[in-house]
Structure 1
Amino acid sequence: MWKWLHPYAKPERAYQLCNTLLPWFSVAAVINLLCGTVWGLLFAPQDYQQGDSFRIIYIHVPSAMLSMSTYVAMAVAALVGMVWQWRTAYMAMIAMAPVGAAMTFIALLTGAAWGKPMWGAWWVWDARLTSELILLFLYFGVIALYTAFEDKQQAGKAAGVMALVGVVNIPVIHYSVEWWNTLHQGSTITKFDKPSIAPEMLWPLLINLAGFALFIAAVTTMRMKTEILRREMHRPWVQDITGLRETSDAV
């Protein structure tokens, strides 16, 4: 089942895949984000209770959901790196970390902006908010641990362990509104049995969710390309790409 993945354990093949996927991710992200954001901010109807202030949902919900999804993907990459000793898996892990941290920060920032008119405060030590803040610190921890090692293979292993340990925070974030009496509202788009949002509001939200996911994929792919070139800079194929071989031959 995993045979199709094996070739991409080699940095050169992984780089080629990134080159192929990056334009598609980028174009699709721009289209979805433009459609979803314009539809949600300009054409979706007002909420009967919150008025236009609810429109921040089109940024807050995708960033919050994908802050968790990106962390899970990062942990999966760390697990693959540990089990199969794939260097490219660790490269993918660290490529995702700053992007996931940015999504978490956006979720916290937009949540604070949304919470001020609803709760009367920019911040409350609510279970959902606190666990999301912990997620941001976990991202920072993975990044800091990776950069602390000169040997990047050891750095990947150390940061991977932290990424895997931090996964326990994900179900805490997701189920916090059910486990504890919190101010934060429940699920918005995952309650398919009884949707808590009207279809004309839901569709632009789903489009923006796809747009954010594609944006994360595009930025992660771009960062992974850079990481591969940095880690493999002495390889002949990298020198061919960067022009270093031609320079050395000329000298």
Structure 2
Amino acid sequence: MRQDRLTTGLGAATLLALGVAVALGLSAPLDVNQGSLVRLMFVHVPTAWLSYLAYGGTGLFGLLYLVTRQRRFDRLALASAEIGVLFTVATIVGGMLWAKPTWGVYWVWDARLTTTALSLVVYGGYLLIRTLIDDPDRRARVAAVVGLVGTLYVPINYMAVEWWRGVHQTQTLKLLGKIRFDAAPVYGWVLLVATAAFTLLYLYLLRVRATLAAREEEREERELMGDLAGMEVARG
């Protein structure tokens, strides 16, 4: 019951934060050059942040599993990877909707876009590997290593616009060196609220998905014990 109340409370806080972010985004002034298109930033940037957070979580939980061998960390790593893939797709779709009216095309093989697409290959492979290994402990170990290596995507993708200049704009929020926000301050506040809301969304989805994974794991163990019991009866 305590865990259910926590999940419910987290879900309610997420809905409230998302509602506030939407209201602020719709009331934000139009950009001089992009007009109402600037509002896509309030979804696109937090979505990209959530994918970074999720992939980072996959690596962190994988590392914790390797250190502790506690299965709950493996379940959290799986949940985080699935969330990361989902929001990477959302990031790509949002970026395409923004790119068409500004660049004239939906997609170019820019460094930022290319590395983003490659992350779907990496984490799609992560999820595929999990389906190919039956032994739970070996599956968790292999997945943890892949998840750790996969986290290299985050800094590479973030810095891609600096290392390989293309059509994609440089970071709106620069975190290395002198921190700088390259947009009007009013947009910064909206982005801050939206990013906080998406962070709550990640935590909520992580908790729900990990709970479902625990139930799936319990069902698999019951089925395995049933099969073993059946084999013992057959031998007897």
TM-score band, normalised by shorter chain: 0.7 to 0.9
Change (3 A) 1:234 1:217: same
Runs of at least 5 residues in structure 2 that lack an aligned partner in the other structure: 223-236
Shift, 1:48, TM fit: 0.9
Does the Cα contact within 8 Å between 2:174 and 2:180 map onto a contact in 1?
Answer: no
The within-5 A match list for 1:84-95 is 84-95=68-79
1:120 aligned residue (90, 104, 109): 104
Partner SS state of residue 173, structure 2:
coil
Give me the TM-score of the superposition, normalised by structure 2.
0.87
Does the Cα contact within 8 Å between 1:18 and 1:222 map onto a contact in 2?
Answer: no
Match of 2:231 in 1: none
Q: Which amino acid aligns with 1:36?
A: A
Q: Structure 1 residue 184 and structure 2 residue 165: aligned? A: no
**How far, CA to CA, are the matches of 1:34 and 1:186 in structure 2?**
29
Q: Spell out, residue by residue over 1:136-194, the C-alpha distance to the aligned partner (whole angstroms, 9 max, x if none).
A: 22221111111222222222112111111212222110111111112111222345744
The within-5 A match list for 1:143-154 is 143-154=127-138
Q: Spell out, residue by residue over 1:63-108, the C-alpha distance to the aligned partner (whole angstroms, 9 max, x if none).
A: 1112112101110100111122111110110111211111100100
Runs of at least 5 residues in structure 1 that lack an aligned partner in the other structure: 1-15, 237-251
Match of 1:210 in 2: 196
Match of 2:8 in 1: 23
**How far, CA to CA, are the matches of 2:206 and 2:20 in structure 1?**
22
Does the Cα contact within 8 Å between 1:35 and 1:204 map onto a contact in 2?
Answer: no
CA RMSD of aligned residues (A): 2.0
Shift, 1:21, TM fit: 3.2
What percent identity do the matched residue pairs reach? Answer: 30
Q: Spell out, residue by residue over 1:172-225, the C-alpha distance to the aligned partner (whole angstroms, 9 max, x if none).
A: 101111111121112223457442122222212111111111111111101111
**How far, CA to CA, are the matches of 2:84 and 2:4 in structure 1?**
21
Give me the TM-score of the superposition, normalised by structure 1.
0.82
**How far, CA to CA, are the matches of 2:124 and 2:3 in structure 1?**
25
Across the two proteins, how many residue pairs are aligned to each other? 220
Change (3 A) 1:133 1:96: same
